[in-house]
Amino acid sequence: MKYKTYPEFSIHYPLILTTFMKKSVRIYPDEIGVVYRNHITGEYQRFTWLEWYKRTCRLANTLSSLGVKPGKPGDPGDRIATMALNTHRHLELYYAVPCSGAVLHPINIRLAQDHIIYTINHAEDKILFFDDSFLSLVEAIYDKIKDKVEKFVYMSDKPGLPDTKIKNLYEYEALLEQESDKFQWPYLSEDNYATLCYTTGTTGLPKGAMFTHRALYLQTLHLIAHASFINDPSYVQLGENTVFMMITPLYHVHAWCAPFIYGFLSAKLVLPGTFTVDGFCDLVQTERVTTTAVVPTILALLIEYKDIDKYDFSSLKYVRVGGGALPLGLKAKVEKKIPGFSATSGYGMTETAPTTVRSFVKKYMRDWSKQKLDKVRVKTGLPIPGIEVEVIAENGEPVPHDNKTLGEIVIRGPWVIEKYYKNPEKTAEVWCDGWFHTGDLAKVDEEDFIVIADRMSDVIRSGSEMVPTVLLENLANMADFILEATVVGVPDKVWGQKPLAIIKLVPNSNKTENDFIEFLKSEGVDKGEITNWMLPKLVAIVDEVPKTSVGKYNKREIRKNLEKYLTIAKDMKQN
Amino acid sequence: MKYKTYPEFSIHYPLILTTFMKKSVRIYPDEIGVVYRNHITGEYQRFTWLEWYKRTCRLANTLSSLGVKPGKPGDPGDRIATMALNTHRHLELYYAVPCSGAVLHPINIRLAQDHIIYTINHAEDKILFFDDSFLSLVEAIYDKIKDKVEKFVYMSDKPGLPDTKIKNLYEYEALLEQESDKFQWPYLSEDNYATLCYTTGTTGLPKGAMFTHRALYLQTLHLIAHASFINDPSYVQLGENTVFMMITPLYHVHAWCAPFIYGFLSAKLVLPGTFTVDGFCDLVQTERVTTTAVVPTILALLIEYKDIDKYDFSSLKYVRVGGGALPLGLKAKVEKKIPGFSATSGYGMTETAPTTVRSFVKKYMRDWSKQKLDKVRVKTGLPIPGIEVEVIAENGEPVPHDNKTLGEIVIRGPWVIEKYYKNPEKTAEVWCDGWFHTGDLAKVDEEDFIVIADRMSDVIRSGSEMVPTVLLENLANMADFILEATVVGVPDKVWGQKPLAIIKLVPNSNKTENDFIEFLKSEGVDKGEITNWMLPKLVAIVDEVPKTSVGKYNKREIRKNLEKYLTIAKDMKQN
């Protein structure tokens, strides 16, 4: 008997981002789904899911009209670059490009210009979509990318094109207006490439991490499922009633997957352009934001803000902290300032799309005291169920769970990159024995929690011992009088390296370098968290600790200007 | 430069059930994970996750020693059959068999003997694991299966083998004792077949539905994720603190995926052998059960139980109802009897592993009254995000969302079977135009909710109109004096068919057939839920409404004995 089966609609039904896009418009066509606030003018734009979906369809038709070619498994479609902030347009690109089969390359606009030029040429971007605010940047690099980039699309809240030397320049809104608001989204293969993200290149040239639809779909689904596992007694289920403010830039590893997680969840997506303290406050109050995700330094900026008490922050429930450990002290300060705003930590990297580890309260801990639970909540956490994360010693075996022995974090799972884009040498450095080697150091405690200690390149080697700087930084942040603190190693004749602490005090503090060391002694050494020889030998009080494009402490920059810091540092001879 | 990538550990990391099994033992080795209560002796057995895992490893080694061969994509491994209740041993088989590469075939022991024999021979089962309570059943069919089944394994709480004619008989516990408690679980392909479930064969011979690891993994993950979407104001997040009692038999479509969902969640799994009212009460009280899943008739049995008020049911929070619509009246009765025990409905079938549609409260409904929300909660619901479910008219187009027009439910998605096992004819009947055709009728309401109306074969064709029997049944169940109610069509010279209602009253009720019709008139016709001509023309009051092996009303059985029911039915001439 003649019969036909449909594996593409059953056992091989593709795991593609299109599914996420279609969900909200189907269930909530008339609900506000996307809110954008221009961080300069303060003007709002609001879109229902249907309006946003129709714009995304128009954009997909635009891409087709501009000649964008889809790819297939193993063979990426045209690369479409963006230089854009967190706007509704950027979010439209986040779906229209991958779901029509091409590859989205969100450029980290805080990279050095040379690196931006490098990534555009390395990715062979065919079209560049850019915000009006990056016009001068695009003009500055134009001559070095114009042979590769065929077309430029200008995105602005104001109509019209600027007077510029850029050729083949189109206006985003005008392009969309010409197109139909219907689009037949293809059932792509799940192995189609969807995005291309470059590492920030703190250790050389940026490397390209390309993700398939499957990888992003599975990361999203596992992270959403993970929320169902939560035992934390302080957790309040918000479900689709979540209102998520996307602060992490969309040019930084998919804004930690937020467009996919919260898009699929039909959470209201609140886009602030770029982070400003007053914009944050205004949006929280107006949109009743419940949830956000930030790097630790953003939290520090927030609680410093003088007008913070003038706003209604009662809607805020959760903030996920990534891109650096969450110090217990910072968590406490935030929760004191904004009651109900619960901060938890996580760990990941560009190559893992990014999230792999999250703080978690185990089921038998539910009756512990808040104090004890908070210590659990800031431990970097447990692997997301569905991905494998181990900490291994040099012999390749897992380190003992003794909260002491350092090892390298290795990862494998559905959302880890297979290889760097056109970079076999770097691929060979990270993939070995079936594991992706992160270059990050951690220890594992008695309860199987992974505690990030350091980048392998940041650890301080003092004598035959290693000083894990993250441990010192976390401790330092517990002090009421500390806003920011980082620790780097400086050359030392006797020890090889000795620790230099660079700290920023809270405004109008009268504390000194000695107070800082005394704090580390009483809270660290006396309580067994660190040993005496780990104490910084030098302390520099500064107005600003240098940060990278993604808000992490920029130790590379500090090492580059080490002389400057050594000049102002106080030698803590008493240790 | 020479380098190696590991797609099997990155972009093609396999979605296999092994991941679920490993999670709980890793995080909670010493917590009680599995509890089994013998429903005859009342004796308990409790296992930590580590103890349960070690037994499962021993079982995997046993399978290997017994010569079980793993399969590969498209080529199923050896089929291993079970005739077993909900015991820890059955749960061990649920993981050890698929995770070692073979195919688990849980036999529905309530099928007719001929059908049981048919499925064993059709599946070509190599080994049959059976509970002591099914010894006589296995002996009864032995001669008709012994040429196919090579080995038999006897599972019992008591040591020793029975005196029986069955050859090649092994003792489960003795086999496990001989083996190592370590097992190197293979990284199978996600396209490896994991399970083989047969339909209950109400419309002919049972058909085999074979599921891959990928299909079961994705169903599980989407269902767990779905819990994160919930907006229902009555929802309390239990997370890993869920205590799940597995009442739905493991021989019935993976007990609705419970071993995988609650196994991955590390919920405590409570196994009652088979459902008994007193066993249920005892287990709830002892184990502090929070959650379960049942067919509607089980709920009816529960609230009828005379000693129900003697137990502490305060831990009970959720019951998912499937295998039939959840009547609003039944929901209300249960929640009145067991405060806090919230009942929600769903829809699925063997071929979809099974869940595809679940009741859901949309985000804009959160402030609705309880009365209004309860009506939403018993609507069959919305498709699980990640699977496509449509209701289509005969022209293949979706029916209007008017809560009126009936159409057929069609489905496609990652956990729908590609084909029936060795049955191309039946496959051709269900797969057409890229959609799996369920044969179930539904309508879609103004808010996109799918409301199940009937099996296509159960709908009553009266004149040129269709009487959806499920609608009548739901309505009937709202009456305080009704315990069970079903409606079938009987031949009629004028109309073709006319509706016959078969009802069971609550004990000691003095209500009559007329009261029943009056109730349908006032609650149904007057409120616009049904029309006058849909009212049953015949009503039979019975002691027991026949049910199928899975607890659904057995309309086939009723039609077979139609004369009997017509004899006692009262002709409701007044309509």
Distances (CA, A) of B302 to A564, B178, B281, B288, B307: 77, 42, 9, 17, 10
Shortest distance, CA B366 to any CA of chain A (angstroms): 9
Q: Tell me A419's DSSP state.
A: S
Task: Determine what percent of chain B is predicted with pLDDT higher than 90.
Answer: 74
Residue A500, strand partner residues: A488, A538
Residue to test with chain A: of B211, B221, B228, most A Cβ within 10 A: B228
Of A26-40, A228-242, B192-206, where does mean pLDDT reach its minimum? B192-206
Nearest Cβ partner for B11 among A19, A212, A435: A212
Q: Tell me what pLDDT residue A129 has.
A: 98
Q: Which residues 261-290 of A have a C-beta within 8 angstroms of B?
A: 264-266
**B71 vs B242: CA distance, rounded Å:** 34
Quick one: tokens of A427?
């691929």
Topology of domain A458-571, CATH = GMP Synthetase; Chain A, domain 3 (3.30.300)
Q: Tell me B193's DSSP state.
A: E
Identify the closest residue of chain A to B434 by CA–CA distance. A6
Closest CA to A388 of A438, A426, A324, A424: A438
Q: pLDDT class for B2, splitting at 50, 70, 90?
A: low
Whether the CB of A33 is below 8 Å from some CB of chain B: the reply is: no
Q: Tell me what pLDDT residue B355 has.
A: 95
Q: What is the dihedral of CA A228, A231, A236, A237, to 10 degrees?
A: 10
Q: Which residues 381-410 of B have a C-beta within 8 angstroms of A?
A: 382, 385-386
Closest CA to A565 of A504, A512, A520, A509: A504
Whether residues B6 and A227 touch (CB distance < 8 A) is answered with: no
Shortest distance, CA B307 to any CA of chain A (angstroms): 33
Shortest distance, CA A213 to any CA of chain B (angstroms): 10
Please report residues of A whose CB lies closer than 8 A to that of B363: 28, 31, 239-241, 266
Q: Tell me what pLDDT residue A275 has.
A: 94
SS3 content of chain B, % helix, strand, coil (to 5): 35, 25, 40
Contacts of the segment A171-180: beta carbons below 8 A, 24+ positions apart: A172/A89, A172/A129, A175/A62, A175/A65, A175/A66, A176/A55, A176/A58, A176/A59, A176/A62, A177/A58, A178/A62, A178/A65, A179/A57, A179/A58, A179/A59, A179/A61, A179/A62, A179/A65, A180/A57, A180/A58, A180/A61
Nearest Cβ partner for A241 among B13, B224, B231: B231
3-class SS at A79? strand
**A289 vs A246: CA distance, rounded Å:** 10
Whether residues A1 and B424 touch (CB distance < 8 A) is answered with: yes
Average pLDDT, stretch A488-511?
A: 88
Closest CA to B549 of B175, B120, B144, B111: B111
Rg (CA), chain B: 24
Closest CA to A366 of A497, A265, A233: A233
Distances (CA, A) of A102 to A2, A70, A186, B462: 37, 5, 12, 54
**B307 vs B310: CA distance, rounded Å:** 6
pLDDT in tens, B211-249: 999 999 999 999 999 999 999 988 999 999 999 999 999
Q: Tell me what pLDDT residue B567 has.
A: 92
Average pLDDT, stretch A207-227?
A: 98
Number of other residues whose CB lies within 10 A of the CB of residue B234: 16
Identify the closest residue of chain B to A210 by CA–CA distance. B11
End-to-end Cα, chain A, rounded Å: 87
Shortest distance, CA B496 to any CA of chain A (angstroms): 35
**Pair B451, B443: CB distance under 8 Å:** yes
Distance of alpha carbon B465 from the chain centroid: 31
A266 backbone φψ class: left, alpha, beta (φ>0; ψ -120 to 50): left
Nearest Cβ partner for A11 among B212, B221, B235: B212
**Cis check: omega of the bond before A354, within 30 degrees of 0:** yes
Q: Which residues contact B203 (CB under 8 A, 6 or more apart)?
A: B457, B556
Q: Tell me what pLDDT residue B401 has.
A: 95
**Pair A82, A131: CB distance under 8 Å:** no
Q: Which helix (H) or strand (E) holds B79?
A: strand B79-83
**Pair B305, B333: CB distance under 8 Å:** no
**Pair B541, B513: CB distance under 8 Å:** yes
Sign for the CA dihedral angle at B395, B397, B401, B406 comes to positive
Nearest Cβ partner for A231 among B241, B385, B436: B241
Whether the CB of A240 is below 8 Å from some CB of chain B: the reply is: yes
**A273 vs B64: CA distance, rounded Å:** 59
Q: Tell me B384's DSSP state.
A: P
Whether the CB of A23 is below 8 Å from some CB of chain B: the reply is: yes
What rounded mean pLDDT belongs to chain B?
93
Whether the CB of B562 is below 8 Å from some CB of chain A: the reply is: no
Average pLDDT, stretch A232-256?
A: 95
CATH number of the domain located at residue range(s) A18-386 in this protein? 3.40.50.12780
**Pair A119, A111: CB distance under 8 Å:** yes
Q: Which residues contact A66 (CB under 8 A, 6 or more apart)?
A: A127, A151, A170, A175
Query: What string of H, E and C letters represents the secondary structure of B153-186?
Result: EEECCCCCCCCCCCCCEEEHHHHHHCCCCCCCCC
Shortest distance, CA A435 to any CA of chain B (angstroms): 7
Nearest Cβ partner for B241 among A4, A363, A413: A363
Whether the CB of B239 is below 8 Å from some CB of chain A: the reply is: yes
Q: Tell me what pLDDT residue B153 has.
A: 98
Of A493-507, B212-226, B284-298, where does mean pLDDT reach its minimum? A493-507
Distances (CA, A) of B182 to B58, B259, B400: 7, 21, 57
Q: Does the pLDDT value for residue A111 go beyond 90?
A: no
Q: pLDDT class for B203, splitting at 50, 70, 90?
A: low
End-to-end Cα, chain B, rounded Å: 87
Distances (CA, A) of B501 to A173, A511, A557, B474, B489: 62, 84, 81, 12, 9
What rounded mean pLDDT belongs to chain A?
93
Query: What string of H, E and C letters represents the secondary structure of A497-524?
Result: EEEEEEEEECCCCCCCHHHHHHHHHHHH
Closest CA to B206 of B78, B120, B323: B120
pLDDT in tens, B143-186: 999 999 999 999 999 999 999 999 999 999 999 999 999 999 99
pLDDT in tens, A381-414: 999 999 999 999 989 999 999 988 889 999 999 9
Which ranges in chain B are annotated with CATH 3.40.50.12780?
A: 18-444
Residue B412, strand partner residues: B388
Distances (CA, A) of A87 to A47, A59, A131, A417, B116: 12, 15, 9, 27, 61
Q: Does the pLDDT value for residue A155 go beyond 90?
A: yes
**B556 vs B566: CA distance, rounded Å:** 15
Whether the CB of A563 is below 8 Å from some CB of chain B: the reply is: no
**A437 vs A434: CA distance, rounded Å:** 9
B174 by Cβ neighbours in 10 Å (0-12 / 13-18 / 19+) ranks as middle
Q: Which residues 428-447 of B have a C-beta within 8 angstroms of A?
A: 428, 431, 434-436
Shortest distance, CA A134 to any CA of chain B (angstroms): 34
**A272 vs A246: CA distance, rounded Å:** 7
Shortest distance, CA A415 to any CA of chain B (angstroms): 6
**B22 vs B132: CA distance, rounded Å:** 29
Closest CA to A131 of A81, A178, A183: A81
Whether residues B266 and A363 touch (CB distance < 8 A) is answered with: yes
Nearest Cβ partner for A221 among B221, B428, B448: B221
pLDDT in tens, A115-146: 999 999 999 999 999 999 999 999 999 999 99
Whether residues B221 and A386 touch (CB distance < 8 A) is answered with: yes
Q: Which residue has the tokens 């931006």?
A: A116
pLDDT in tens, A458-482: 777 776 667 778 778 888 888 889 9
Whether residues B5 and A431 touch (CB distance < 8 A) is answered with: yes
Nearest Cβ partner for B431 among A5, A366, A431: A5
**B188 vs B210: CA distance, rounded Å:** 17
Nearest Cβ partner for B364 among A4, A31, A227: A31
Task: Determine what percent of chain B is predicted with pLDDT higher than 70.
Answer: 98
Quick one: tokens of A261?
């997680």
Nearest Cβ partner for A1 among B231, B237, B425: B425
Nearest Cβ partner for A229 among B240, B366, B412: B240
Please report residues of A whose CB lies closer than 8 A to that of B240: 229-231, 362-363
Q: Which CATH architecture has domain B18-444?
A: 3-Layer(aba) Sandwich (3.40)
pLDDT in tens, B137-150: 999 999 999 999 99
b/e string for A502-522 if b means 16 or more Cβ within 10 A? bbbbbeeeebebebbbebbee
Residue B405 backbone phi and psi in degrees, to 5: -70, 125
Of A41-55, A209-223, B474-488, where does mean pLDDT reach its minimum? B474-488
Q: Tell me what pLDDT residue A29 has.
A: 97
Identify the closest residue of chain B to A434 by CA–CA distance. B6
Residue to test with chain B: of A1, A2, A5, A9, most B Cβ within 10 A: A9
> Between β-strands A388-392 and A407-412, what pairing exists: parallel, antiparallel or unpaired?
antiparallel
Sign for the CA dihedral angle at B396, B397, B398, B401 comes to negative
Q: Does the pLDDT value for residue B464 go beyond 70?
A: no
Average pLDDT, stretch A369-373?
A: 93
Whether residues A386 and B31 touch (CB distance < 8 A) is answered with: no
**Cis check: omega of the bond before B354, within 30 degrees of 0:** yes
Closest CA to B273 of B127, B52, B89: B89
Sign for the CA dihedral angle at B351, B355, B358, B363 comes to negative
Q: Does the pLDDT value for residue B575 go beyond 70?
A: no
DSSP assignments along B452-497, one per residue: EEEETTT-EEETTEEE-HHHHHHHHHTSTTEEEEEEEEEEETTTEE
pLDDT in tens, A80-110: 999 999 999 999 999 999 999 999 999 999 8
Whether residues B3 and A434 touch (CB distance < 8 A) is answered with: no
DSSP assignments along A342-372, one per residue: EEEEEEE-GGGSSEEEE----GGGTTS-HHH
Average pLDDT, stretch A226-247?
A: 95
**Pair B326, B470: CB distance under 8 Å:** no
Which ranges in chain B are annotated with CATH 3.30.300.30?
A: 458-571
Q: Tell me what pLDDT residue A406 has.
A: 86
Q: Does the pLDDT value for residue A551 go beyond 90?
A: no
Please report residues of A whose CB lies closer than 8 A to that of B237: 228, 230, 235-237
More confident residue, B445 or B322: B445
